[in-house]
Chain A
Amino acid sequence: MSDPGDAFDLGAGMAGPSTEVIDGTKAETKALDARSVSQRISLKPVRGGASQSLRHESGILHVSGAATYIDDLPEPKGLLHLAPGLSTRAHARILSIDLGAVRAASGVVLVLTTKDIPGHNDVSPVGKHDEPLLAEDIVSYHGQMIFAVVAETRAQARAAVRLAKIGYEDLPAILDVAQARAAGSEVVWRSLTMSRGDAESALRKAPRRVSGSLSVGGQEHFYLEGQAAMAMPGENREMCVWSSTQHPTETQLMIAHVLDCPSALVTVEVRRMGGGFGGKETQANGPACLAALAASITGRATKLRLDRDDDMTITGKRHDFVIDYNVGFDDEGRIHAVDMVLAARCGWSADLSGPVTDRALFHADNAYYYPDVRLRSEPLKTNTQSNTAYRGFGGPQGIVGAERLIEEIAYATGFDPLDVRLCNTYETGTDRDLTPYHMNVEDSIAADIMKALAEDCGYRKRREDIRVFNTKSRFIKRGIALTPVKFGIAFTATHYNQAGALVHVYTDGSVQVNHGGCEMGQGLHTKMVQVVMREFALEADRVRITATNTGKVPNTSATAASSGADLNGMAVLDAVIKIKTRLVTFAAEHWSVPEDHIAFTPEGVQAGETLIPFSDLIKAAYFARISLSSNGFYKTPKIHWNPDTGRGRPFLYFAYGAACSEVAVDTLTGEMCIERVDILHDAGQSLNPAIDIGQIEGAFVQGAGWLTTEELVWDSAGRLRTHAPSTYKIPGCSDRPRIFNVRLLDNAPNQEETIFRSKAVGEPPFVHGLSVLHAISDAIASLDDYRSCPRLDAPATPETILRCAEHLRSIAADRVATGTT
């Protein structure tokens, strides 16, 4: 290992400490077997192939500082730099824009305003035309881009931006859900209603009822690499853009739209992102379009890399929600009926708020059966950043609602919340398996997972011990909670559930694989390499993955919705199998053996008794004029969804898991510490157990951060006050659980025919962070001897925790005062 090039040498797969190497052949499905040309020969899988652990394909580059991100690319001659000028009002009419001093500033080449846009001043990703790239007459949030400075250096561009003088006439600004409701604010998307049965009458008839409201905060993505793009003009209006984007195709279309040129002239490429988490699904478009616009006007390459404060001020975040709920149940803790309204702060434009609020509804049941149910979304327009995709895409917020119902029932009945959970989970094959959107849950394993985890981590005993501890500890209280997740897998926009791949085998037998998915740290590229390794039985160093490029695989979907490996894995497999099929036909003829006597093994290609090195087979095939390249395609089967009727099967399957968290809370200050976390998660037949465990650990901590320290604060003028890591606190190293056990569910191949029976793993484990919120709530509940539901909102910052604790202490004091014990 001597130079950065040895990232090509992925090395042997090394399992992490809590992973095990799994014999991938077990997961081979009948359907895939039928497509496999080597089914009659027992295969020894190649080391590190799909279904086994393999280290990240860029690991060595990462640790060497040799993995390039947008700002690390070699800079073209004459590169210009761009910095945006932002609105300083939440809602206002622009009366005047004086850019004289900006233009005159040192190094400034060009100042872009709406007048410079040859095409459409519109980057709405959903065709709603409500999102100008640069503000025209009206600014709709504090931080909206109004102009952009193009200068010789980035420092010059940033300095010049400050010299602008913009005159405003303030308009009434609506900043949050409460204000939007009070003002009767418009919605950015149609409200969705899902209903089954008659929730109203069932609520009336239910033996017991609780209603309430909760709020759950938003979340900044805090990808470590901020938004960045570099555009290079080519001949005849061509434009090549390197963008840190999760959705190169959309970025390409937006650039074409803004420049008013055919998409065929625009190429977008991304090798890797320094984190995405949904924050670069649509939010990368603006920077890429501005860079391309500047490049097309100046004829010089242009780069835009947002400063962190600008990035956080400009871009959308996870939607915060207010959820109003009404739940009917019985003395056994069984839910009879649920009525919930989920209202979201969507920001100034639609962006993806429609599908995000839809998904909140799709998950407002979490793992639980609601006999009669009505769920309604309110995607409210506000004068704040346009909230967008973020890992879970509204799902986690919906689940927060579901789990609050459970908690209410538990405190009302006195049952352990775990028992309330267990008695309400979907029961596949019974009449209790129908979701609010009329999809049958065909694979409900939530209860089994919760029971297994509770057993594993000693939940019951620890819960008892904690209650004893709390009677003896005056200020420090401990709490424990075990929460499940059921997460629907597929884009709810059905047409997004397609993918393409392009696989080339070169005459030396090395393979290049391209696909439509983007690498943002989730290990997608590694898994795609593993699919090729497994099928061709090639070592990692023979398979090279390239940057994602709209010129190689067109019309791709966003790498989002946890779907990256599901969709692209199948497309890559399709391409590989096409090539394999040609090779088998050729080899059978060439070596005169039946096709089913050909097998790809780590030692080489077996043709009857003959063992041929893979590269020799390829060379022979080349001389025989066999095509060694193929595209691949996949579309997810079975799914359909009609928002007008609120019915369908939007998901191919569900991913499950459960987490148990134990916390300690200082009820004097609201400080909190996560003591121990145990997670059992369903990744199906994992494509790469080490990577999947990494996804789960990371998702948990991110989810816990969302619900605890990560607080977005806007002031009364609509200025985001938490716009950098100094003010916005994502979990640090010492916030990770002191004890942190993560295990994948054993022997759990996906019932559906996914890539090697794996399950998507990006978003579902994010929900495990919810166990922390409930553990904190459990700790606080001790202050009133577990008789009141603490109704702890999120994020549970020290202040929120202290407020909640004071509230319970006052209830307890009242109880003493009034003699009601």
Chain B
Amino acid sequence: MRDTLRFWLGDEYIVLHDVPPTMTALDWLREKGGRTGTKEGCNEGDCGACTIIVVRRNTTANDDEDLTWQAVNACIQFLPMLDGAQVYTVEDLRDPSGALHPVQTAMVEQHGSQCGFCTPGFIMSMVVFRKRAETKNGPVTDTDIDDALAGNLCRCTGYAPIIRAMRHALAAGPDRFDAETAKISERLATMETGEGVVIATDAGRLTIPASADELAATMQTDPAARIVAGATDVGLWVTKFGRILPHVVFIGQIPELRRIEATAQGVTIGAAVTWSEAEAPLCAIQPEMRDTFRRVAARPVRNSATLCGNIANGSPIGDGPPLLIAAGAELILRRGVQRRRIPLEAFFINYGVQDRTPDEFVEAVFMPVPEEGVLFRGYKISKRFDQDISAVMAGFSLTLRDGHIHTACLAFGGMAAIPKRAATAEAALVGRPWNEAALAAARDAVSQDFTPLSDLRASSWYRQEVARNLLTRFYAETAGQTPVRVSVRTHRAETAHV
């Protein structure tokens, strides 16, 4: 058991004692690390001014790269989450001769900075994107760039010159890191000693279990401990609500929980697998999820946030549950050495209440391979296209037998106190042919299924109306084969224009 944190910050090996469990990476970088190039814009992971790069060895094996480079929001990363990582801030980008990184040069030359405050964050996202683009097949599209930069807000430029800079940077030569892969890999390997970490301070206690067994034991010893994977929700408890968490258990790097297991039956996603990592394996078996996955928060959040965390926190407006419920997902919970498996929808009992005992934790979620010919769609409706919380989230799936609807699952988020299926509408559909009459029946019925709230995101009227209209869209797209989206950002042919 270690009682220190250690990571590489640029070319400096950092060892820290007495770290409070909820010290954020941003505060540490700015206040102790002297890295004031990393800015605080919102302190809640929504603006990207604090974006840093975290490099780890590739363990989820989505590609054959040795290292994964990820842009994350430092403001809602707790410092212990960086244990064992190679971290870079904007100050680390110049090459040893002092020359600017190609992304930095492009941003200067393309007038990509105006006030300059968001600039370091953009640069970090752009540096990572350039790395990932190297491994992409086919040309880089505007949509790819949008996806990479969706978590970075700029209020001055209107983004146009930043996109121009991104294009220029993609065409530029190698950066300093290209020659350092082996060195970084070795640094990371050296830190992988397989031991857990416990640090106790006056400000609280932190545990980094080395294994799922250790986690299970920790939770049995201290059921009040707070489990944190990506901290994209819990981070805000601390930065915005000033909550004090006496004992935080960090599970983000536990090897068993990092696992993605694909079988002929389906895909199992471990509790520490991020949205970014879960995207490919899940969309491989259900391609209709791709558009909605792309719109869950934004890249830096998806690089930290876990799919299981999105479920475990029980939010009625999480984007994952409606999709996964519609896909027939199951949740695997663990308590001590015991495991149980429940349909995902059964996990959500009431607002703030889930089917989980305090000493129990979500170990994984399983999504089955969809039945042949299933009609499936995921729809996300929010004020803004990217990086917004849904007003309404929907996951729909229909199976047909002999031209009639055999099973129907219409799962919604944002419509009730929990992610919930529209039972009346489902009943109205089953047994009918999938036609205009069935649609009309389902539209009428879905109004009886929910009495949604009015809040800052949308009124009750809007949520009801959209719930009905999404059924119309679903019908148009599955019965009529006509995509109904203005989100041309994911659908239309790419233009060459930037």
Residues of A that sit less than 8 Å from B by CB: 1-3, 14, 16-17, 55-56, 58-69, 71-72, 155, 158-159, 162, 221-226, 272-277, 305, 307-309, 474-476, 520-523, 664-666, 668-673, 675, 690-691, 693-694, 697-702, 709, 711, 713, 721-722, 724-727, 729-736, 738-740, 742, 797-799, 802-803, 806
Is residue B406 contacting chain A, with contact meaning CB distance below 8 A? no
Q: Is there an interface contact between B115 and A273, defined as CB atoms closer than 8 Å? A: yes
Return B29 CB to nearest CB of chain A, in Å: 11
Chain B residues with Cβ below 8 Å from A698 are 114, 155-158
Q: A669-B469, A733-B386 are in contact. Are A521 and B116 (CB under 8 A)?
A: yes
Q: Is there an interface contact between B158 and A671, defined as CB atoms closer than 8 Å? A: no
Segment 445-498 of B: residues with Cβ below 8 Å from A: 455-459, 462, 465-466, 469-470, 472-473, 476, 484-489, 492, 495, 497
Apart from A2-B99, A307-B240, what are 17 other A-B pairs with CB-CB below 8 Å? Answer: A17-B164, A60-B104, A62-B107, A63-B100, A155-B27, A158-B242, A224-B155, A225-B41, A307-B43, A521-B113, A697-B158, A698-B155, A700-B158, A701-B157, A732-B153, A738-B489, A799-B459
Q: Is there an interface contact between B39 and A673, defined as CB atoms closer than 8 Å? A: no
Return A383 CB to nearest CB of chain B, in Å: 19
27 pairs of residues in contact across A and B, judged by CB atoms under 8 Å: A16-B110, A63-B103, A63-B120, A63-B123, A65-B36, A65-B90, A224-B41, A224-B47, A224-B153, A225-B115, A521-B115, A664-B488, A673-B486, A694-B156, A698-B156, A698-B158, A701-B158, A729-B383, A729-B388, A733-B150, A738-B489, A738-B495, A738-B497, A742-B160, A798-B458, A799-B458, A803-B462
Chain B residues with Cβ below 8 Å from A272 are 115-116
**Of B141-149, B190-198, B251-259, B396-404, the one touching chain A:** B141-149
CA distance A806 to B461 in the complex (A): 12
Is residue B416 contacting chain A, with contact meaning CB distance below 8 A? no
Chain B residues with Cβ below 8 Å from A732 are 150, 153, 298, 384-387
Q: Is there an interface contact between A713 and B44, defined as CB atoms closer than 8 Å? A: no
CA distance A3 to B384 in the complex (A): 39
Contact of A690 among B37, B89, B111, B466 (CB under 8 A): B111
**Among B49, B156, B472: residue with most chain A CB under 10 A:** B156
Is residue B162 contacting chain A, with contact meaning CB distance below 8 A? yes
Q: Is there an interface contact between B115 and A64, defined as CB atoms closer than 8 Å? A: no
**Among B108, B163, B455: residue with most chain A CB under 10 A:** B108
Q: Is there an interface contact between A475 and B47, defined as CB atoms closer than 8 Å? A: no
Return A601 CB to nearest CB of chain B, in Å: 27
CA distance A308 to B105 in the complex (A): 30
Q: Is there an interface contact between A726 and B46, defined as CB atoms closer than 8 Å? A: yes
Q: A56-B113, A734-B489 are in contact. Are A725 and B42 (CB under 8 A)?
A: yes
Q: A64-B94, A67-B116 are in contact. Are A277 and B155 (CB under 8 A)?
A: yes
CA distance A309 to B242 in the complex (A): 13
Chain A residues with Cβ below 8 Å from B94 are 64
CA distance A721 to B382 in the complex (A): 16
Return B307 CB to nearest CB of chain A, in Å: 20
Segment 275-319 of B: residues with Cβ below 8 Å from A: 298
Q: A14-B109, A69-B39, A727-B456 are in contact. Are A802 and B465 (CB under 8 A)?
A: yes
Chain A residues with Cβ below 8 Å from B459 are 799
Chain A residues with Cβ below 8 Å from B117 are 69, 223-225, 274-275, 521
Instruction: Name the 5 nearest CB pairs between A and B, nearest first.
Output: A65-B37, A521-B115, A274-B117, A62-B116, A2-B98
Return A67 CB to nearest CB of chain B, in Å: 5
Contact of B484 among A277, A666, A693, A799 (CB under 8 A): A666
Q: Is there an interface contact between B116 and A308, defined as CB atoms closer than 8 Å? A: no
Chain B residues with Cβ below 8 Å from A664 are 486, 488
Classify chain B: how many residues form its interface, as a range. Answer: 35 or more
Chain A residues with Cβ below 8 Å from B83 are none
CA distance A225 to B161 in the complex (A): 20
Q: Is there an interface contact between A799 and B98, defined as CB atoms closer than 8 Å? A: no
Chain B residues with Cβ below 8 Å from A221 are 155
Chain A residues with Cβ below 8 Å from B158 are 697-702, 731, 736, 740
Q: Is there an interface contact between A721 and B456, defined as CB atoms closer than 8 Å? A: yes
Is residue B389 contacting chain A, with contact meaning CB distance below 8 A? yes
CA distance A580 to B261 in the complex (A): 76
**Among B47, B105, B114, B470: residue with most chain A CB under 10 A:** B114
Chain B residues with Cβ below 8 Å from A733 are 145-146, 149-150, 152, 154, 159, 162-163, 386
Residue ID in chain B nearest A519 by CB atoms: B115
Is residue B381 contacting chain A, with contact meaning CB distance below 8 A? yes
Is residue B119 contacting chain A, with contact meaning CB distance below 8 A? yes
**Among B43, B158, B476: residue with most chain A CB under 10 A:** B158
CA distance A29 to B381 in the complex (A): 55
Chain A residues with Cβ below 8 Å from B147 are 734
CA distance A729 to B384 in the complex (A): 6
Chain B residues with Cβ below 8 Å from A59 are 107-108, 111, 113, 116
Is residue B118 contacting chain A, with contact meaning CB distance below 8 A? yes
CA distance A736 to B473 in the complex (A): 25
Segment 390-434 of B: residues with Cβ below 8 Å from A: 391
CA distance A58 to B120 in the complex (A): 13
Residue ID in chain A nearest B152 by CB atoms: A733
Q: A3-B98, A308-B41 are in contact. Are A62 and B489 (CB under 8 A)?
A: no
CA distance A366 to B27 in the complex (A): 47
CA distance A474 to B485 in the complex (A): 12
Return A314 CB to nearest CB of chain B, in Å: 15
Is residue B91 contacting chain A, with contact meaning CB distance below 8 A? yes
CA distance A523 to B111 in the complex (A): 10
Contact of A802 among B103, B155, B157, B462 (CB under 8 A): B462
Is residue B97 contacting chain A, with contact meaning CB distance below 8 A? yes
CA distance A666 to B105 in the complex (A): 40
Return B378 CB to nearest CB of chain A, in Å: 14
CA distance A734 to B123 in the complex (A): 17
CA distance A3 to B100 in the complex (A): 10
Q: Is there an interface contact between B97 and A2, defined as CB atoms closer than 8 Å? A: yes
Is residue B345 contacting chain A, with contact meaning CB distance below 8 A? no
Q: Is there an interface contact between A223 and B115, defined as CB atoms closer than 8 Å? A: yes
Q: Is there an interface contact between B156 and A521, defined as CB atoms closer than 8 Å? A: yes
Q: Is there an interface contact between B242 and A308, defined as CB atoms closer than 8 Å? A: no
Residue ID in chain B nearest A275 by CB atoms: B115
Chain A residues with Cβ below 8 Å from B161 are 16, 694, 697
**Among A68, A158, A276, A727: residue with most chain B CB under 10 A:** A727
Q: Is there an interface contact between B111 and A63, defined as CB atoms closer than 8 Å? A: no
Chain B residues with Cβ below 8 Å from A721 are 455-456
CA distance A700 to B472 in the complex (A): 34
Q: Is there an interface contact between A476 and B484, defined as CB atoms closer than 8 Å? A: yes
CA distance A673 to B382 in the complex (A): 13
CA distance A153 to B147 in the complex (A): 37
CA distance A664 to B483 in the complex (A): 14
Chain A residues with Cβ below 8 Å from B465 are 802, 806
Return B148 CB to nearest CB of chain A, in Å: 9
Q: Is there an interface contact between B487 and A671, defined as CB atoms closer than 8 Å? A: yes
Return B374 CB to nearest CB of chain A, in Å: 23
Return A578 CB to nearest CB of chain B, in Å: 31
Interface string of B75-104 (1 = CB under 8 A from A): 000000000000001110110011110011
CA distance A486 to B164 in the complex (A): 29
Chain B residues with Cβ below 8 Å from A666 are 484-486
Segment 119-152 of B: residues with Cβ below 8 Å from A: 119-120, 123, 142-143, 145-147, 149-150, 152
Q: A664-B486, A673-B489 are in contact. Are A798 and B116 (CB under 8 A)?
A: no
Return A303 CB to nearest CB of chain B, in Å: 12
Segment 164-184 of B: residues with Cβ below 8 Å from A: 164
Is residue B38 contacting chain A, with contact meaning CB distance below 8 A? yes
Is residue B363 contacting chain A, with contact meaning CB distance below 8 A? no
Return A55 CB to nearest CB of chain B, in Å: 6
Chain B residues with Cβ below 8 Å from A691 are 111
Q: Is there an interface contact between A159 and B145, defined as CB atoms closer than 8 Å? A: no
